[in-house]
Amino acid sequence: GQSLEQPSEVTAVEGAIVQINCTYQTSGFYGLSWYQQHDGGAPTFLSYNGLDGLEETGRFSSFLSRSDSYGYLLLQELQMKDSASYFCAVSLPFGQNFVFGPGTRLSVLP
């Protein structure tokens, strides 16, 4: 079976740094992706980690440790517009599909 775990909610203030963790147990693993979804909106792709280590894209960074079955999304210099739900997603090998985590709701306070 496939299992992903994320914290259900995280709260932080504007300008702060927040880390959203994701642990996974899947039958096979190809990579870890992150998606952002505002209320009522479509999920939008943020980042992908196929190898261990840190990937940086502007204010967002994503990290993967295959040996620990663990990854995180790091958001720096938080802005009010970052308030949204964030989903990690495991892509399975051999062309199989993504499995999405339950999502973490981030609230950014002024």
Contact between 102 and another protein per CB under 8 A:
yes
Contact between 103 and another protein per CB under 8 A:
yes
Residues 30-89 that bind another protein (CB under 8 A): 30-31, 33, 35, 41-46, 48, 50, 87, 89
What are the DSSP calls for the chain, one per residue? --EEE--SEEEEETT--EEEEEEEE-SS--EEEEEEE-TTS--EEEEEESSSEEEEETTEEEEEETTTTEEEEEE-S--GGG-EEEEEEEEPSTTPPEEE---EEEEEE-
Minimal distance in Å, beta carbon 41 to another protein?
Answer: 7
| Burial zone of 90 (CB within 10 Å; 0-12 exposed, 13-18 middle, 19+ buried) | buried
Minimal distance in Å, beta carbon 19 to another protein?
Answer: 19
User: Given the complex with another protein, which of 45 and 79 has the nearer CB atom?
Assistant: 45
User: Which range binds another protein by CB under 8 A, 13-21, 66-74, 75-83, 95-103?
Assistant: 95-103
Binding site for another protein (CB under 8 A): 4, 30-31, 33, 35, 41-46, 48, 50, 87, 89, 91, 95-103
